[in-house]
Structure 1
Amino acid sequence: MVFVSAYLALSVGALAIAPVLGREPIPCVSESTFKMKSILFCALNRQYVTPELKAVLLDFSINMEQQFPDTTTLVLDANFPFISGFPLLPHLSHNDGRKVDLAFFYKDDSGFLNGITRSPIGYFAFENGPTECAENMITLRWDLAWLQMLWPDYDLEPRRMAHALQLLGEDERVGKVFIEPHLKSRLLAHNPKIRFQGCRAARHDDHIHLQL
């Protein structure tokens, strides 16, 4: 009880203190155009970004909603509220408030599924496709094959996915966007900012990584 009470107090305090130190929280429960996918990310204090990145997300989500009404942008892991350089495991680079992951947009036979992802937290539901990575390479590129049968059989919503990558590629504030090459080809995302993260990093065919 002491630990839980102290953790809650520090988490609530971080909401007020982080903006003073250059990090702002992404909404956890919101009616706006973007919010965290899961309350779990907020409970773990993984919803903080720099003001500039928050502005990128706001502009992106507004454009997505204007182009495709009733579309909510779901944010996955962002960063911790304090201390640049402190790793947000298992990510290799989420350590300065300038990186964030976005959930894919999905559909089923009835149409677009707003606010819904294949997995409960948005990660680990992979879109299978060809890869140039060797199977015997030492890497963080896990496949989690045993999990895949648990996820619903939703498809990517191609119009929203293609428009999202186009928006991010054209935003001058965005430096890099990571996604698997087979999805880049499938979604006709030709902007050079949109690139492969490499074979030694985790797979990026379950989410979009972007950074300033």
Structure 2
Amino acid sequence: MRWVGHGVVFVLLTLLTQLGGLAWLGALAFRRRFPAFAGLYAVVFLAAHLLAPTYGRVALPCFGDALRSQSPAYCLMMRNFVVPELRHVAQDTAQNANAAFPGTVTLTLDGGFPFWDEFPMLPHLSHDDGEKLDLAFYYQRDGEYLPGTTRSPIGFWAFELTGPDACPPAFPTMRWGMSWIQPLLRDLRFEPERTAHVIRVLSADPRVGKIFVEPELVTAMSVQHEKVRFQGCRAARHDDHIHFQLK
């Protein structure tokens, strides 16, 4: 039964980080398993940053002024890898937003793993080729923009739409309501100006192919464009973040 437990840990770490399962397998050879895992994970982490460019992936910045990860956890779990062109798009978009609204910080969420196309990044249905990236919404309190701040501690699941869902119940689906977590989120307000500006910048970028945002928010922000689409009823809701991908 012990090996079953190790197998579960291996699968979970692999699904969450792609390479963490390998570090766990290596740690099984040591008596002090958790310190060994931490050390081996650090080695795997550094190796991923050195080798990923060979596979056409680069890391998005974990820290920065105009563009950075919403949480260090995305970097630690190696979920911030994208193809170089997408990193350029993200950097250009963040710089554009900061130029239009000085002091704006654009936060990245899930991008991709460092290696291998078609490797699933749960819970997403895509994000398997380094050509997709999620951006957090911008937020304010009492009309004042709060740089680098999100309602949710992970950037996801702070849904803006509270009315009846236009999608009928279906199974399987990833269109979770997450109603239990909503009362626990920070008391912040959606900042539409910066969010709409970024959607327009992405829409005008010839390198971008699709942008997913819930239709109700698209209408409210007046950001209609042929690239701005509904992701479908079986995919995750997009009234908590912006998803965009290359052509």
- TM-score bin (small chain): over 0.9
Tell me, in whole angstroms, the C-alpha distance in 1 between the residues paired with 2:95 and 2:174: 34
2:203 is matched with which residue: 161, 169, 172? 169
Highest RCO, 1 vs 2 (Cα 8 Å, sep ≥ 6):
1
- Equivalent residue, structure 2, for 1:54: 87
Q: Which runs of 5+ in 2 are unaligned?
A: 1-34
* Structure ID, larger Rg: 2
Structure 1 137/13 Cα, relative in aligned 2: closer, same or farther at 3 Å? closer
Residue-pair matches, total: 211
Deviation at 1:4, TM superposition (A): 1.9
Q: Counterpart in 2 of 1:152?
A: 186
Using structure 1 for the length normalisation, give the TM-score: 0.96
Q: 1:46: how far off?
A: 0.3
Question: What is the DSSP-based 3-state SS (H/G/I as helix, E as strand, rest coil) of the residue aligned with 1:94?
Answer: coil
Which residue is equivalent to 1:72? 105
The 3 A distance-change label for structure 1 pair 130 and 184 is farther
Q: 1:130–1:182: 8 Å Cα contact kept in structure 2? A: no
Q: CA deviation at 1:136?
A: 5.0
Distance 1:186 1:137, change over 3 A: farther
Q: Report the 3-state secondary structure (helix = DSSP H, G, I; strand = E; otherwise coil) of the residue aligned with 1:20.
A: helix
Q: What does residue 191 of structure 1 align with?
A: 225
Tell me whether 1:209 sits opposite 2:243 in the alignment. yes
**Cα shift at 1:165:** 0.9
Match of 1:94 in 2: 127
> For 1:176, what is the secondary structure of its paired residue?
strand
Structure with greater proportional helix content: 2
CA distance in 2, matches of 1:2, 1:130: 49
1:40 aligns with 2:73: yes
CA distance in 2, matches of 1:195, 1:130: 20
Match of 1:182 in 2: 216
Aligned to 1:152, the other structure's residue is in SS state coil
Q: Give the CA RMSD over aligned residues.
A: 1.2
Write the mapping of 1:83-162 to structure 2, written as runs, cut at 5 A: 83-128=116-161, 129-136=163-170, 138-162=172-196
The one of 33, 53, 67 aligned to 1:19: 53
Indicate if the aligned counterparts of 2:170 and 2:234 stay in contact, CA closer than 8 A.
no
- Structure 1 runs not aligned, ≥5 long: none
How does the TM-score come out when normalised to structure 2? 0.83
The Cα of 1:133 is off from its aligned counterpart by 0.1
Change beyond 3 A, Cα 1:116–1:10: same
Identity, % of aligned positions = 47
Q: 4-13 or 73-82: which moved more?
A: 4-13
Distance 1:58 1:23 in 2: 15
**Cα shift at 1:153:** 2.4
For 2:237, what is the secondary structure of its paired residue? Answer: coil
